[in-house]
Every structure is written in C-alpha cells, then in structure tokens.
Amino acid sequence: MTVDYTSLTKIIASLCEGETDEVALMATVVCELHHSDDRFDWTGFYRVTEPDMLKIGPYQGGHGCLKIPFARGVCGAAARTGTVQLVADVDAFPGHIACASSTRSELVLPVWNGAGRLLGVLDIDSDQPGAFAKSDADALAVILKQTFANVA
C-alpha cells in the first residue's frame, strides 16, 4: 500500500480542523501517516523541549530514542539546519543514531508553526533502503504547514 497524499491531506485537515494543541495535532498526523503506507516502519515526532534538544513526542512503531541533541543524527540535522533530510541509506549518514536496527532509510522534516517557530521534526523510518523520494517530502511539507499553521 502506497500513500495517496491528496486524500491523506484532506483527511488530516478534516480531523485537525480547529485544533491548536501541538501534541494533539502530532498524535493525529502520526496515526494517519503511519497507517497510510507500507514503507512507514516508524513514524513520529520529536519535539523541541529545550534549546538544541529534541524529545520524543507522539509516534507509531517500536520504541524511539527519548532525546536527540540537534548536533546528532538525521533528526538533529533537520532541526539544526531547518531543512528536510532525505536519507536513502542511514548507514552512510555521518553520525546516524540507530534507535532501531531495522531502519534502512529515513525522511525527516522540520515542523514550524505559523509564526516560524520550530516545534520539532517529523521522522519517518523505513526498513527498506531508498524508500523515500522528494515527492514524499514535498507532500508531507504541505500537510505539516497546513496542520501546524495555527499553533502558538
């Protein structure tokens, strides 16, 4: 099963309409994403909870790392640089943190509120190498922008 981003965008918008609590939004987005595509082995948010530190937020899948500094790993790179990290082979990524030994590829997007404050990152791991494309990142960026625009 491969995600239909057009349909998924509408579903998430409907479920999240009027909600401004970032954790509630994250939980809803993760649930819908994780069950929309067989490539998504682990799907979750890491939240900015203190300067230069991410802490695990809502997720689906096995256990994730509890804390990730901005200076380490794929999630840290996305938070530190504010850019999407599309990693076809996590073993080739310098400083990759192996929260799960089954992860082969990863897609991490920064999550901003409407005022431009970094809320955290969306992390999607796959047990398949090269599982993600720029088209996945682009579609997910639209969902994130739409969903978190009204969070304070």
Residue 102 — very low, low, confident or very high, per pLDDT cuts 50/70/90?
confident
Tokens of 123: 């992390």
**CATH hierarchy code of domain 5-148:** 3.30.450.40
Give 90 or 70, the one with higher predicted confidence.
70
* Continuous H helices in the chain: 5-16, 22-34, 73-81, 134-148
pLDDT for the residue 81: 97
Residue type, 54: L
pLDDT of residue 93 exceeding 90, the answer is no
Whether 108 and 123 have beta carbons less than 8 Å apart is answered as: yes
Tell me the backbone φ, ψ of residue 53, rounded to 5 degrees: -140, 135
Kindly state the percentage of the chain with pLDDT values over 70: 99
pLDDT of residue 21 exceeding 90, the answer is yes
Helix (H) or strand (E) segment spanning residue 112:
strand 105-112
